């Protein structure tokens, strides 16, 4: 079964760092991009950007450039989203998803989401 | 950036109704448009891609049409499981989502 499995919910304080993960299975992980999507409470989907695990080529949406970092470890079929210093506005659900067919494509497989709560 | 605008934002309907949601792009995206269904606390689910191609396993009551800047998602006969929020996504240039349309029980 083709799937993406994300790490569990996180509760952090402002200023702390965080790295969440997205592990792919059932397909050749290094042959497909992985995208990240933010959904703030009660709001819509926002495209954060994308990483190619094969060579770690990365593209960020302008709104997220400099705010987060994407990385990947192809030896364990895992992509990561990290923050160096969280603030309350980073509280959201974060999804990883696989674009089928290239850097810009429909998203056929989604992770279950990781809820991030930032609160003092 | 390409902006995607969905209408309406909320739609009240009854089981059995025909429902249509519109998505407009700020510039042409050809047919590079997808539709997703999302239920509370769950990941979005792909329904339609390339404007009108039904994803495997999606009921045939869902259909998509359009090209260029105007697209529609139609549910021919609304079922209880269809009450959810629907998003369009353009993938002609990078990716942008519409703001969502919530389909609620009338």
Among A47, A99, A105, the residue with its CB nearest the CB of B97 is A47
First to last CA, chain B: 36
- pLDDT greater than 90 at residue A95: yes
* pLDDT score at A89: 97
* pLDDT score at A22: 98
Between A102 and A5, where is the model more confident? A5
For the stretch A28-37, pLDDT in tens is: 999 999 999 9
Q: Could B46 and A99 be called an inter-chain contact, meaning their C-beta atoms sit closer than 8 Å?
A: no
Which residue, among A104, A108, A112, would best test binding to B if mutated, counting the most B CBs under 10 Å from its CB? A104
Instruction: Assign B81 to helix, strand or coil.
Output: helix
Q: Could A99 and B91 be called an inter-chain contact, meaning their C-beta atoms sit closer than 8 Å?
A: yes
Average pLDDT of span A93-106: 94
For the stretch A15-51, pLDDT in tens is: 999 999 999 999 999 999 999 999 999 999 999 999 9
At A101, is the pLDDT very low, low, confident or very high (cuts 50, 70, 90)? confident
* pLDDT score at A71: 98
Among A59, A62, A105, the residue with its CB nearest the CB of B91 is A105
């Amino acid at each position: 079964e083709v799937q993406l499995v994300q790490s569990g919910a996180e509760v952090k304080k402002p200023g702390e760092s965080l790295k969440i993960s997205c592990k792919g299975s059932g397909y050749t992980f290094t042959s497909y991009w992985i995208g990240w999507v933010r959904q703030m409470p009660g709001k819509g989907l926002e495209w954060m950007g994308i990483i190619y695990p094969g060579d770690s080529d990365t593209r960020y949406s302008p709104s997220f450039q400099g705010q987060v970092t994407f990385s990947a470890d192809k030896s364990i079929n895992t992509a990561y989203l990290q923050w160096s210093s969280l603030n309350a506005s980073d509280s959201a659900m974060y999804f990883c998803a696989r674009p089928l067919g290239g850097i810009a494509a429909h998203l056929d497989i989604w992770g279950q989401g990781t809820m991030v709560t930032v609160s003092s | 950036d390409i902006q995607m605008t969905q209408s309406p934002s909320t739609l009240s309907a009854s089981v059995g109704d025909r429902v249509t949601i519109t998505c407009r792009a700020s510039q042409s995206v050809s047919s590079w448009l997808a539709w997703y269904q999302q239920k509370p606390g769950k990941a979005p689910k792909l329904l339609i891609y390339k404007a009108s191609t039904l994803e495997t396993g999606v009921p045939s009551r869902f259909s998509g049409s359009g090209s260029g800047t105007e697209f529609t998602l139609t549910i021919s006969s609304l079922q209880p499981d269809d009450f959810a929020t629907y998003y369009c996504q353009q993938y002609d240039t990078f990716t942008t989502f519409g703001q969502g349309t919530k389909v609620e029980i009338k």
